[in-house]
Amino acid sequence: MPRKVKLLPRAQKELEALPFAIQDQIIAKLDLLRDFPEIGPAMFDAFQGYRALLAAKNSYRTVYRIISNDLVEVAYIRHCARQTRLRLIRGKE
């Protein structure tokens, strides 16, 4: 039975702010999580327990976690360049 994919309010807001073409590509990837929740590699450190999935020509990262056999929860969706800038600002490479 396929799992439910739930977007947290932050992820929903981030998705809605994107152009429709990008939204469609991200939603197509999110649909994969229904049947293949472990498709994204596991994250570590502060993101222990979460997984990441790239979409839209690997430009957007979706961070999610498997809550149960029936539910996958999407924490946020961000452009990958935004992540790089944050690491540079914080002094981490």
Average pLDDT for runs of 10 along the chain of length 93: 91 96 96 95 90 93 95 94 52 48
Do strands 4-7 and 71-79 pair parallel, antiparallel, or not at all (unpaired)? parallel
pLDDT value of residue 84: 44
pLDDT value of residue 83: 58
Domain extent listing, the chain: 4-89
Question: What architecture is domain 4-89?
Answer: 2-Layer Sandwich (3.30)
Name residue 65's beta-bridge partners: 73
Residue with tokens 């998705």: 15
Q: Is the pTM of this model over 0.85?
A: no
pLDDT value of residue 81: 79
